[in-house]
A and B are shown apart, each in its own frame.
Chain A
Amino acid sequence: MFKILEKWEMADNTVCHFKIEAPLIAKKAQPGQFVVLRPNETGERIPLTMAGTDPAQGTIDIIFQVVGKTTALLRTLQKGDAILDIIGPLGRPTHVEKLGTVICVGGGTGIAVLYPITRALQEIGNHVISIVGARTKYLLILEDEMKNVSDEFFITTDDGSYGRHGFVTDALKDLLDERTDIKLVVGIGPVPMMKFVCKTTEPYGVKTLVSLNTIMVDATGMCGACRATVGGKTQFCCVDGPEFDGHQVDFDELMKRQAAYLKEERQSYERFQKEQE
């Protein structure tokens, strides 16, 4: 059992942040790695990135968006409650190196995944430019945290309620036009966003990393649920990723595979909402 030590809600209660006691995982985890958790005996195993760790205190942070049954169930847990199973750290850590100037682009809850990577990139001495976006102002998360680990910082919202009106890719394109010293772009967010980030950077020939959030089961390379086509070859995102060269990723296949259980997910979620009433 893994105890929840702190709980915060954000983005109008659509996003939830837990600090969880998990000393062994906290000791080992590196930026870019994730955990798999199973809330209770009848629960599903779902992957969530560690948005932060504190090896001294023995804690890990997860930040998740409520999108279906499991995340909604997690949200009902309070400080002091426990999660039945947490497995980690999983996946390959981000390859962090000093390159010069890098751009970190985050959308929606993807910002939670991007945050530890951004911090690591800055700590090693890169000049970090961050662009974070959301549909609308109140959905933007981790603004201060991201700002603190960035040398330059931009915000966009789809509806113009905060920061620049438009998509993160608009801001990204301007930066790519202005500067020629960009060595790396890291883009993490909803799949369509990552796809367009890659489309945006491709003509400039700037290497672009994305984090693929495929459906997973064991997340140890044992089942292949998480397979994606990268560079024409099948990769298991849980062990070969989750980060890949975005210019090689078959995003259309990824989106279709993510939608494989829409019917069952809806059924589960509706059942859960009824039970809650």
Chain B
Amino acid sequence: MTEKEKKEKIPRQPMPEQDPKKRSMNFDEVPYGYTPELAQKEASRCLQCKKPKCVEGCPVGVKIPEFINLIAEGDFIGAAKKLKEDNSLPAVCGRVCPQESQCEALCVLGKKDEPVAVGRLERFAADYERAQGTVDLPQLPPPTGKKVAVVGSGPAGLTLAGDLIKFGHQVTIFEALHKPGGVLVYGIPEFRLPKAIVEAEVDYLKRLGVEIKYNHVVGKILTVDELLEMGYDAVFLGVGAGLPVFMNIPGENLCGIYSANEYLTRSNLMKAYLFPKYDTPIAVGKNVAVIGGGNVAMDSARTALRLGANNVHIVYRRSKTELPARAEEVHHAEEEGVQFKFLTAPLRYIGNADGWVTGMECIQMELGEPDDSGRRRPVPIEDSNFTLDVDLAVIAIGTGANPIITGTIPNLELNKWGYIVADEATGKTSRERVYAGGDIVTGAATVILAMGAGRNSSQAIHQYLMNKS
């Protein structure tokens, strides 16, 4: 047997995780993560390709074979350091990247067998480093005397802030909410991304000297022009795509109908799942419908289960193959008992005298010709209407651009959906000294793409600042 064949014999190592029955009742993280033994075994599967395909699939070009090799050799700290050369939030990405359509999708092992579990290994190395205690701070260069204001503390803003402080610039983040992390804290639930991980990453930035001002809604308390006048040499906008989209169908304002943003913000940011220890309430549905098929829908459905629902339906207008959520999230949701109603779309909500939702009239769909996105367009089947009993509905069909900040920046070019027009390679906008990146430029995308945008802008801003004497 050749070395290669031997390696191909080792199966992809599963991650130990909480039993589905138990975990659907708690908010603890679902997978426990690899043990060092499992990680080394999985790492040993990697062929150390000369021209690694996997790297092409990673939006930030993580040196995948190198970090995996360090794990195989038992140098876990070294692996974490290697990861951080390209990715400042490996503990987050290892958990939430859609690996099956990125790095792992291109792994050569995946052709015949299963790909190397790049995400799980990434998570392992980062967790190992964090568990060892405080992460070493790099030596910072002498201060440049330049100041940058970052608006928004999501993955784009955090990545950019980390880069710029390491170049010796002074960095202040202005965040609208009372906690840092953007979607990582208000959107993605604890059972998928423990908040302690985000806190550790932010602490690291603070130790490097990044200043964070919470409760600052830029556009209200300060405008971007005022920030520039106050002496910031450049401003980066990483404000995300935080505008909830509703369907505008009858009955949508009944009580018990939430946008996913509200539902998840109540539960995650405000800790309504710990009510009444925490003061923010959340309605507990017995029969819940979640409309949509992305990560946001899966997170909402699994939150509803954990809050005590008997039946949780994902109502999605296309079929299973078109679900945009990460495969692992769909799998976990199914295991936990979330029921899927594919090819179904809501038409209207029915309420009682108190104004609470009691039912949702739906229509059955079939797939027709492909639409602009290349996916087959769902078309309603006539007379296929039926009513689903629901006392809680969560609308997770996407988000848009919030005009609260973009509307207060004169001459900032926006596209027809209200997103900021910015150069892909640099984040430059139509306004001098104003850069933008992440979901507010691309529309709702992924953590790693937002981080990549932050990285690109940090290079561009650094160059601009250094040329400007």
| Chain A residues in the interface with B (C-beta under 8 A) | 24-25, 28, 38, 42-45, 69-70, 84-90, 217-218, 220-225, 227-229, 234, 239, 253, 256-257, 259-261, 264-265, 267-268, 271
**Cβ-closest chain A residue relative to B352:** A256
Asked if residues B355 and A256 are in contact (CB atoms below 8 Å), the reply is yes
**Cβ-closest chain B residue relative to A227:** B253
**Cβ-closest chain B residue relative to A69:** B279
Asked if residues A90 and B217 are in contact (CB atoms below 8 Å), the reply is yes
Asked if residues B402 and A220 are in contact (CB atoms below 8 Å), the reply is yes
**Cβ-closest chain A residue relative to B281:** A264
- A221 to B259 Cα, complex, angstroms: 12
Residues of B within 8 A of A268 (CB): 275-276, 279, 281
Listed residue (A28, A87, A259) with the most chain B CB atoms within 10 angstroms of its CB: A87
Asked if residues B220 and A223 are in contact (CB atoms below 8 Å), the reply is no
Given A221-B403, A228-B253, A271-B276; 18 other pairs, CB 8 A cutoff: A25-B221, A42-B278, A42-B279, A44-B280, A70-B279, A84-B178, A85-B178, A217-B265, A220-B217, A220-B242, A221-B404, A222-B244, A223-B259, A223-B262, A229-B253, A260-B255, A260-B256, A267-B276
- Provided the pairs A88-B221, A268-B276 are in contact, do residues A234 and B248 lie with their beta carbons within 8 angstroms? yes
- A268 to B355 Cα, complex, angstroms: 23
- A45 to B402 Cα, complex, angstroms: 20
Give A94 Cβ to nearest chain B Cβ, in Å: 16
B274-288 CB contact bits vs A (8 Å, 1 = yes)? 011111110100000
Could you say which of A69, A218, A257 contacts B253, with CB atoms under 8 Å apart?
A257
Asked if residues A224 and B266 are in contact (CB atoms below 8 Å), the reply is no
- A168 to B243 Cα, complex, angstroms: 39
For this complex, 27 residue pairs linking A to B, each with C-beta atoms less than 8 Å apart, are: A28-B220, A28-B222, A42-B277, A43-B278, A44-B278, A44-B280, A45-B270, A45-B280, A84-B178, A86-B215, A89-B220, A220-B404, A221-B242, A221-B404, A222-B244, A222-B261, A222-B265, A223-B265, A224-B258, A224-B262, A225-B262, A234-B248, A234-B253, A256-B255, A256-B354, A264-B275, A264-B281
Asked if residues A85 and B214 are in contact (CB atoms below 8 Å), the reply is yes
B176 within 8 A of A: yes
B393-432 CB contact bits vs A (8 Å, 1 = yes)? 0000000001110000000000000000000000000000
Give A257 Cβ to nearest chain B Cβ, in Å: 6
- Provided the pairs A42-B278, A86-B215 are in contact, do residues A253 and B253 lie with their beta carbons within 8 angstroms? yes
In chain B between 136 and 174, which residues have their CB closer than 8 angstroms to a CB of chain A? none
B128 within 8 A of A: no
Asked if residues B261 and A90 are in contact (CB atoms below 8 Å), the reply is no
Residues of B within 8 A of A44 (CB): 270, 278-280
Residues of B within 8 A of A90 (CB): 217, 220
- A265 to B280 Cα, complex, angstroms: 9
**Cβ-closest chain A residue relative to B223:** A28
Asked if residues B259 and A224 are in contact (CB atoms below 8 Å), the reply is yes
Asked if residues A87 and B215 are in contact (CB atoms below 8 Å), the reply is yes
The secondary structure that dominates the A interface is: mixed
Asked if residues A24 and B265 are in contact (CB atoms below 8 Å), the reply is no
**Cβ-closest chain B residue relative to A239:** B404
Give A260 Cβ to nearest chain B Cβ, in Å: 4
B27 within 8 A of A: no
Asked if residues B402 and A218 are in contact (CB atoms below 8 Å), the reply is no
In chain B between 266 and 313, which residues have their CB closer than 8 angstroms to a CB of chain A? 266, 270-271, 275-281, 283
Asked if residues A218 and B177 are in contact (CB atoms below 8 Å), the reply is yes
**Cβ-closest chain B residue relative to A260:** B255
Residues of A within 8 A of B248 (CB): 234
- A89 to B218 Cα, complex, angstroms: 11
- A217 to B178 Cα, complex, angstroms: 12
B252 within 8 A of A: yes
Give B229 Cβ to nearest chain A Cβ, in Å: 14
Residues of B within 8 A of A234 (CB): 246, 248, 252-253
Listed residue (A44, A223, A271) with the most chain B CB atoms within 10 angstroms of its CB: A223
Listed residue (A70, A86, A218, A261) with the most chain B CB atoms within 10 angstroms of its CB: A218
Give B254 Cβ to nearest chain A Cβ, in Å: 8
Residues of B within 8 A of A220 (CB): 176, 217, 220, 242, 402, 404
- A58 to B75 Cα, complex, angstroms: 55
**Cβ-closest chain A residue relative to B280:** A44
- A151 to B335 Cα, complex, angstroms: 69
Could you say which of A24, A224, A260, A261 contacts B261, with CB atoms under 8 Å apart?
A224
In chain B between 321 and 361, which residues have their CB closer than 8 angstroms to a CB of chain A? 354-356
Asked if residues A217 and B255 are in contact (CB atoms below 8 Å), the reply is no
6 A-B pairs with least C-beta separation: A256-B355, A264-B281, A223-B262, A44-B279, A260-B255, A222-B242
- A234 to B178 Cα, complex, angstroms: 27
Give B350 Cβ to nearest chain A Cβ, in Å: 14
Give A262 Cβ to nearest chain B Cβ, in Å: 10
Residues of A within 8 A of B215 (CB): 85-87
**Cβ-closest chain A residue relative to B248:** A234
- A88 to B215 Cα, complex, angstroms: 8
Residues of A within 8 A of B356 (CB): 260
- Provided the pairs A25-B221, A220-B402 are in contact, do residues A87 and B176 lie with their beta carbons within 8 angstroms? yes
Residues of A within 8 A of B270 (CB): 44-45, 217
- A259 to B352 Cα, complex, angstroms: 14
- A239 to B219 Cα, complex, angstroms: 12
**Cβ-closest chain B residue relative to A226:** B262
Asked if residues A43 and B279 are in contact (CB atoms below 8 Å), the reply is yes
In chain B between 203 and 220, which residues have their CB closer than 8 angstroms to a CB of chain A? 214-215, 217, 220
Give B51 Cβ to nearest chain A Cβ, in Å: 44
Asked if residues B243 and A222 are in contact (CB atoms below 8 Å), the reply is yes
Asked if residues A264 and B276 are in contact (CB atoms below 8 Å), the reply is yes
- A10 to B439 Cα, complex, angstroms: 47
- A221 to B261 Cα, complex, angstroms: 10
- A256 to B403 Cα, complex, angstroms: 28
